[in-house]
Chain A
Amino acid sequence: MSKVILRVEDLRSFFFTRKGVVKAVDGVSFYVCEGETFGLVGESACGKTVTALSILRLLPEPAGQIVGGKIFLDGTNLLELSKEEMRKYRGRMISMILQDPMTSLNPVYTVGDQIAESVRLHQGLQGEKVDEEVISALRLLKIPSPEMIMRNYPFQLSGGMRQRVVGAIAMSCHPRLLIADEPTTALDATIQAQYLTLFKDVQKQTNVAIIFITHDFGVVGNMCQRVGVMYAGKIVETATTREIFKTPKHPYTSALMDSVPRLDQKGDRLYSIKGQPPSLRDLPPGCRFFPRCPVAEDICRQKEPAEVEISEGHFVSCWKVK
């Protein structure tokens, strides 16, 4: 098995607002290996993005705070670094790709300038060396005629091409860990398929570890080796993609899969999960899923279930799973 590059232990990130404390991430643990893609799946506001921002230590302060846990990147606890040291880690060791390629690029600079900025900042290169790095980053993302594209402004490129440029910026400093937050959600289906294939290639070439945040199980099946399913600030189930699809154990995981229509099956009626996710300001006691759970029992509403390893690498937090 390859080397673990990132290990998150019992991470807690809260938002302190006037209306109360929002427990956006409440005890999340997982790890990612070199050359591996780990999927974080869940619905909106389940804490996926806050987890990612916590790893980068980019929560919007002062409202958002990491209140507990450890984040080890290649053996270093990121939460012990000074702000200065952390800034050097960002970009060089970890980068991130955001959902909307239009807003993550600066419209007044050329594509080349934006990649060069990160190259200069993190690699300390000068002159022609910078251009070489820029072109090789564009090549890595299979952007046609990079010498020409680097002189273009973002508005001159299509959505798919822009998202490749964002990928090139993220990869330009050879990070060890890449966090991709719904990078294909804004793209059309055929372009999304191109992008995902492209990224698998990039990973093969660079051996980068990827955390892939998504709400789409289709993307998970395509991209990830292992998955963590998040619900209301916690990871409720972690397993290999294969096991998650074959034998989902947590009632939320299986309900979620049953409620998504499948292209290769004709179903008359979809299973629908009743109700809606709880407010993170006002969580139910006990298991967070019990108000919507089809198999909930008394204990579920009283005590929060602990994480149990039911088979190697398959963790579930549910009273009903032994």
Chain B
Amino acid sequence: MATTKVIDWDKVGGGIKRKSIFLEITFILPVAVLFLLVIMAIFAPLLAPYPYDQISMQDRLLPPFFMDGGTTAHLLGTDNIGRDILSRVIYGAQISLSISLIVIAITASIGTVLGILAGYLGGRTDAFLMRVTDISLSFPAILIAILMAVTIGPGYWTVVLAISMLGWAPYARLIRGEALKLRESDFVAQARIIGASPVRIMFRHIFPNVLNPLIVMVTLSVGFVILTEAALSYLGAGIPPPAASWGNMVNDGRTFIDTAWWMSLFPGIVIGLVVLAGNFLGDWLRDKMDPRLRQL
């Protein structure tokens, strides 16, 4: 080896550049996927070749166009009562994505409020709220949802309610931990010395500083909601027919899996895509917001 360690400047620069492009791709790709799916949901009536509930018995169980017996009239084939799979996947985006959005809004709000209260106020408030959280986390989630479906009947809002009841606890846990750390921070002590009220401290000092982990958690839970909705549909407690959600489509195809696998596969692929996009985006945000990584 030479006395001076020779640095190939281009290589050093290049290495760093490559890494940043990689970071960009893990951001752009999931955002693009999610954006396209949202567009698809909004313009479903314009994009879908057929209404989601148009039954056509003579066209039942048609395979996708690239297979023997398939037709370009039904690109992704049809289901057991002759509904167009492509149209139902497009319409399904409306329900699956809107459920995700509503559920995340509810769970994130409840979890953040309870988490900040528990973490900042501490003591008995904390003990009480955290026991409730523990109970919520330890209950078999699916069981509650089925019970609800039985008692108030399956439907869109039942699904929203059921998943929301399960989903807030992890938020509360996460936010409480952050609030606990922040409570001991110098700037919160300073606010107390100044005479700021607890409400002001929680709102102005704690809340803005838990946003980073909160946003990461939000992106990661897109997948959770869609998968839970699919699981509920699978158990018959999901979105009732004829409405199309990706979850209930997978479920409808279950009995035909050996003959008409396309019924489950295509909605399954979209579910996978959204979950992956959410997770990638979450990872990207987490890396971005990590102050140690941000400096580089």
Q: In the complex, are the beta carbons of A65 and B3 less than 8 A apart?
A: no
Q: In the complex, are the beta carbons of A63 and B5 less than 8 A apart?
A: no
Among residues of A, the one whose C-beta sits closest to the C-beta of B1 is A80
Q: In the complex, are the beta carbons of A62 and B15 less than 8 A apart?
A: yes
Q: In the complex, are the beta carbons of A18 and B16 less than 8 A apart?
A: yes
Q: Which residues of B contact A82 (CB under 8 A)?
A: 1
Whether, in the assembled complex, A69 has its beta carbon less than 8 Å from a beta carbon of chain B, the answer is yes
Contact with B along A14-25 (1 / 0, CB 8 A): 001110000000
Q: Which residues of A contact B296 (CB under 8 A)?
A: 17-18, 63
State whether A17 and B4 are in contact (beta carbons under 8 Å apart), knowing that A62-B15, A65-B12 are contacts in the complex: no
Taking a contact as CB atoms closer than 8 A, the residue among A16, A18, A62, A65 that contacts B5 in the complex is A65
Bound-state Cα–Cα, A292 to B262, Å: 74
Q: In the complex, are the beta carbons of B3 and A16 less than 8 A apart?
A: no
Whether, in the assembled complex, A310 has its beta carbon less than 8 Å from a beta carbon of chain B, the answer is no
Q: In the complex, are the beta carbons of A79 and B5 less than 8 A apart?
A: yes
Bound-state Cα–Cα, A63 to B170, Å: 36
Whether, in the assembled complex, A254 has its beta carbon less than 8 Å from a beta carbon of chain B, the answer is no
Q: In the complex, are the beta carbons of A67 and B3 less than 8 A apart?
A: no
Interface centre among A18, A68, A79 (most CB of B within 10 A): A18
Bound-state Cα–Cα, A16 to B4, Å: 18
Contact with A along B1-17 (1 / 0, CB 8 A): 10111010000110110
Q: In the assembled complex, how far is the CB of residue A45 from the closest CB belonging to chain B, in whole angstroms?
A: 13
Q: In the complex, are the beta carbons of A77 and B3 less than 8 A apart?
A: yes
State whether A68 and B4 are in contact (beta carbons under 8 Å apart), knowing that A16-B12, A18-B296 are contacts in the complex: yes
Bound-state Cα–Cα, A134 to B219, Å: 52
Q: In the assembled complex, how far is the CB of residue B190 from the closest CB belonging to chain A, in whole angstroms?
A: 23
Q: In the complex, are the beta carbons of A79 and B3 less than 8 A apart?
A: yes
Q: Which residues of B contact A18 (CB under 8 A)?
A: 16, 20, 296
Whether, in the assembled complex, B151 has its beta carbon less than 8 Å from a beta carbon of chain A, the answer is no
Q: In the assembled complex, how far is the CB of residue B3 from the closest CB belonging to chain A, in whole angstroms?
A: 6
In the complex, chain B residues 1-48 whose Cβ is within 8 Å of any chain A Cβ: 1, 3-5, 7, 12-13, 15-16, 20
Q: In the complex, are the beta carbons of B5 and A67 less than 8 A apart?
A: yes
Q: In the complex, are the beta carbons of A16 and B16 less than 8 A apart?
A: yes
Q: In the assembled complex, how far is the CB of residue B64 from the closest CB belonging to chain A, in whole angstroms?
A: 46
In the complex, chain A residues 28-85 whose Cβ is within 8 Å of any chain B Cβ: 62-63, 65-70, 77, 79-80, 82
Number of interface residues of A (CB under 8 A): 15
Q: Which residues of B contact A66 (CB under 8 A)?
A: 5
State whether A80 and B3 are in contact (beta carbons under 8 Å apart), knowing that A17-B296, A62-B15, A63-B296 are contacts in the complex: yes
Q: Which residues of A contact B3 (CB under 8 A)?
A: 70, 77, 79-80
In the complex, chain A residues 61-111 whose Cβ is within 8 Å of any chain B Cβ: 62-63, 65-70, 77, 79-80, 82
State whether A17 and B1 are in contact (beta carbons under 8 Å apart), knowing that A62-B15, A65-B7 are contacts in the complex: no
Q: In the assembled complex, how far is the CB of residue A114 from the closest CB belonging to chain B, in whole angstroms?
A: 26
Q: In the assembled complex, how far is the CB of residue A264 from the closest CB belonging to chain B, in whole angstroms?
A: 34
Q: Which residues of A contact B259 (CB under 8 A)?
A: none
Number of interface residues of B (CB under 8 A): 12
Bound-state Cα–Cα, A69 to B2, Å: 11
Among residues of B, the one whose C-beta sits closest to the C-beta of A81 is B1
Among residues of A, the one whose C-beta sits closest to the C-beta of B12 is A16
Whether, in the assembled complex, B295 has its beta carbon less than 8 Å from a beta carbon of chain A, the answer is yes
Among residues of B, the one whose C-beta sits closest to the C-beta of A65 is B7
Among residues of A, the one whose C-beta sits closest to the C-beta of B15 is A62
Q: Which residues of B contact A17 (CB under 8 A)?
A: 16, 295-296
Q: Which residues of A contact B13 (CB under 8 A)?
A: 16
Among residues of B, the one whose C-beta sits closest to the C-beta of A17 is B296
Among residues of B, the one whose C-beta sits closest to the C-beta of A70 is B3
Q: In the complex, are the beta carbons of B20 and A69 less than 8 A apart?
A: no
Q: Which residues of A contact B20 (CB under 8 A)?
A: 18
In the complex, chain A residues 177-215 whose Cβ is within 8 Å of any chain B Cβ: none
Bound-state Cα–Cα, A66 to B1, Å: 14
Among residues of A, the one whose C-beta sits closest to the C-beta of B295 is A17
Bound-state Cα–Cα, A135 to B5, Å: 41
Q: Which residues of B contact A68 (CB under 8 A)?
A: 4-5
Bound-state Cα–Cα, A82 to B1, Å: 9
Among residues of A, the one whose C-beta sits closest to the C-beta of B294 is A18
Q: In the assembled complex, how far is the CB of residue B138 from the closest CB belonging to chain A, in whole angstroms?
A: 30
Bound-state Cα–Cα, A80 to B12, Å: 21
Bound-state Cα–Cα, A82 to B5, Å: 12
Bound-state Cα–Cα, A68 to B295, Å: 25
Q: In the complex, are the beta carbons of B12 and A69 less than 8 A apart?
A: no
Q: In the assembled complex, how far is the CB of residue A292 from the closest CB belonging to chain B, in whole angstroms?
A: 25
Q: In the assembled complex, how far is the CB of residue A29 from the closest CB belonging to chain B, in whole angstroms?
A: 14
Bound-state Cα–Cα, A41 to B295, Å: 26
Bound-state Cα–Cα, A253 to B42, Å: 69
Q: Which residues of A contact B15 (CB under 8 A)?
A: 62
Contact with B along A220-242 (1 / 0, CB 8 A): 00000000000000000000000
What are 30 contact pairs spanning A and B, CB under 8 A? A16-B12, A16-B13, A16-B16, A17-B16, A17-B296, A18-B20, A18-B296, A62-B12, A62-B15, A63-B296, A65-B5, A65-B7, A65-B12, A66-B5, A67-B4, A67-B5, A67-B7, A68-B4, A68-B5, A69-B4, A70-B3, A70-B4, A77-B3, A79-B1, A79-B3, A79-B4, A79-B5, A80-B1, A80-B3, A82-B1
User: Chain A: residues with CB nearer than 8 A to chain B?
Assistant: 16-18, 62-63, 65-70, 77, 79-80, 82
Top 9 nearest A-B pairs (CB, nearest first) are A16-B12, A68-B4, A67-B7, A80-B1, A17-B296, A66-B5, A18-B296, A18-B16, A65-B7
Known: A62-B12, A65-B12, A68-B5. 14 other contacts (CB 8 A): A16-B12, A16-B13, A17-B295, A18-B16, A18-B296, A62-B15, A67-B4, A67-B5, A67-B7, A68-B4, A69-B4, A70-B4, A79-B1, A80-B3
